[in-house]
Amino acid sequence: MEKIKLEKNMLKVFLVAGARPNFMKIAPVLHQMKKYPDRFHPVFVHTGQHYDVKMSGVFLRDLGLPEPDITLGAGSGSHAQQTARVMIAFEKVLMEDRPDLIVVVGDVNSTMACAIAAAKLRIPVAHVEAGLRSGDRTMPEEINRIVTDQLADYLFTSIEDVDENLIREGIPRERIHFVGNVMAESLLKCGPKIEESRILEKFALRKREYALTTLHRPSNVDDRDDFLDIMDALNEIQQDIIVVFPAHPRTQKQIKAFGLKTLNNRLILTDPLSYFDFLALEKNALFVITDSGGIQEETTLFDVPCLTIRENTERPITITEGTNILVGTKSGAIVSESRKILAGKQKSGKIPLYWDDKVSERIVEVFSNI
Ligand code: UD1
């Protein structure tokens, strides 16, 4: 596909976020564009993929994001339903108020849906966090990444090595810009707010005397046996250390559906937390057990060991350079790797190149030089 060029001096840019992991990636770019009102007219679009206050509203507040200029109200549904609803609503908005460029982030259904709608209207698409690949097409996010990157005119990568993933898929090198990890920028910029959080006191926790866990991948929580096996591991680990478990709505639903009664009192089950509170827990945990993508990166930034309950990762640099270990999904390995950390054998890492607080500057500079 021929690259669509940006020509105007003043760019109307639609910045799209839909789900929880998008907000910390869009915020730095939006804030940076606002510094140049003669060059950029940023419009914040919220697709409504995540709609609960705890999955969306508190993140807008913590990240200093304004109320969205446009909301699409997509809501939940099957993948096709959710993707289609975002596409239909976004296409309408694009036709009524055509932007010069759209910016999408990450790999959720909203990311791909908006990229498709814009590309078909020949509106240039920029993808922040391009090029990540797990090689596992059973993950919906992998499909979203591949499709979005194929359609994007500007591909902003967070890790230098992943440029090669894109080249292999036939993407012209001149579209790819290695700018670094924008999520790192969000995290680094809210340092003082993390210190102000009172979440450790709220749960009566002491630094490095608890583990933190999150789980939400359909492959881990939708099947009863697989989910119960992971919960068995958590129950075993809480015999040695307190485990804090802020549970995603999908996971809470499954806990109810599978009839999991009150968990042991050293396994603290809570609702999803705000951005600052969650980061405070992450920073001060002895280790983290997760199936999230972003948390693999955040733990590397905090130099906190991370055990990832998956068979693969689209973020291998968190293993080679960071603090991450893939433990698979079976309770035996989860428990034995946790015990190693409890015995003092923990992985330390270094912070990858350009995981800093200048990422949005690099992105905006690319648009400024068009
Ligand atoms: C989505 C992303 C995933 C990301 C995750 C972070 C896709 C394919 N997946 O997964 O990459 O890691 O967000 O949270 O886009 N729900 C609520 N309230 C909400 C949002 C969701 O109750 O505010 C419930 C809904 O019943 C829904 C379920 O959670 O069916 C799952 O939400 P959905 O957006 O479909 O996918 P996630 O599992 O959140």
Report, as an integer, the average pLDDT of 346-361. Answer: 96
Q: What is the pLDDT of residue 9?
A: 82
Q: Which of 16, 76, 278 to mutate to test the pocket of ligand 1 (most atoms within 8 A of CB)?
A: 76
Active site annotation includes 177: no
End-to-end CA distance of the chain: 19
DSSP 70-117: EE-------HHHHHHHHHHHHHHHHHHS--SEEEEESSSHHHHHHHHH
Q: How confident is the model at residue 107 (pLDDT cuts 50, 70, 90)?
A: very high
Distance (Å, rounded) from C-alpha 27 to C-alpha 59? 10
Q: Which 3 state secondary structure label does DSSP give 267?
A: strand
Burial of 13-45, coded b for 16+ CB within 10 Å and e otherwise, reads bbbbbbbbbbbbbbbbbbbbbeeeeeebbbbbb
| Least confident segment among 34-38, 170-174, 264-268 | 264-268
CATH topology of domain 191-342: Rossmann fold (3.40.50)
- State whether the beta carbon of 147 lies less than 6 angstroms from ligand 1: no
Distance (Å, rounded) from C-alpha 154 to C-alpha 29? 14
Q: Which of 108, 114, 136, 290 to mutate to test the pocket of ligand 1 (most atoms within 8 A of CB)?
A: 108
AA letter at 272:
P
Tokens of 166: 């894109």
Report, as an integer, the average pLDDT of 265-275. Answer: 94
CA-closest residue to ligand 1 atom 30: 76
- State whether the beta carbon of 109 lies less than 6 angstroms from ligand 1: yes
User: SS3 breakdown of the chain: % helix, strand, coil, rounded to 5?
Assistant: 45, 15, 40
> In which residue ranges of the chain is CATH 3.40.50.2000 found?
11-180+355-368, 191-342
Phi and psi at residue 75, to the nearest 5°: 70, -170
Report, as an integer, the average pLDDT of 8-30. Answer: 95
CA 145 to chain centroid, in Å, comes to: 12
Give CATH for domain 11-180+355-368. Answer: 3.40.50.2000
Question: What mean pLDDT, rounded, does the chain reach?
Answer: 96
∠347-313-227 over CA atoms, to 5°?
90
> Would you say residue 262 has pLDDT above 80?
no
In angstroms and rounded to an integer, the radius of gyration of the C-alpha atoms of the chain is 20
Q: What is the pLDDT of residue 368?
A: 87
Query: H/E element holding 11?
Result: strand 11-17
Q: Which 3 state secondary structure label does DSSP give 13?
A: strand
Bridge partners, residue 17, by sequence: 46
> Would you say residue 52 has pLDDT above 70?
yes
Q: What is the pLDDT of residue 2?
A: 55
Give Cβ neighbours of residue 352 (< 8 Å, ≥ 6 apart).
159, 181, 300, 317, 321, 322
Q: Which of 31, 46, 127, 216 is catalytic?
A: 216
Q: Which of 16, 22, 50, 60 to mutate to test the pocket of ligand 1 (most atoms within 8 A of CB)?
A: 50
- What is the β-pairing status of strands 242-246 and 306-308? unpaired
**250 C-alpha to center of ligand 1: Å?**
7
Report, as an integer, the average pLDDT of 53-77. Answer: 97
- State whether the beta carbon of 250 lies less than 6 angstroms from ligand 1: yes
AA letter at 287:
F
Distance (Å, rounded) from C-alpha 130 to C-alpha 192? 29
> Would you say residue 246 has pLDDT above 70?
yes
**50 C-alpha to center of ligand 1: Å?**
6
